[in-house]
Structure 1
């Protein structure tokens, strides 16, 4: 399979997984799929789930958004999800 065909297959597979946000339905299925694909490509993958309590602690009004962090500090305004509304 060519690289283009592989990329299209992965994209179509991901689109077929019904991830609805909010409330975040089927995210685990999408994450598992990507973890498997990336691992099969020889990449090291670490899935990190942010506990809901931690999200609510910093952003109670955005409890359905995923946030990225870098070591336990509260996310800075510049590191928020691009879909998150401005406060």
Structure 2
């Protein structure tokens, strides 16, 4: 499966809620028989302008630096769920 196709699949998968790299990788592998490596998934996500890294997921028991376990969302999801910053008047 080509990177463009993978990006489109991932955008649809994370459009409802953010997902971490491991969830995305497992889901892509279940959709595609070519078994795209997880490190490639992170690279694909980082290069897509419509996908945003919103945080890092910390899990106990993970050792090594195989790939970053980050949480990803679409830019539309982030814009919709973004909190408004309180104005100066609200802070008084």
Please classify the TM superposition score into its range, dividing by the shorter chain length.
under 0.3
Per the normalisation by structure 2, the TM-score is 0.26
Higher strand share: 2
The structure whose RCO (Cα within 8 Å, separation 6+) is larger is 2
TM-score, reference length from structure 1: 0.27
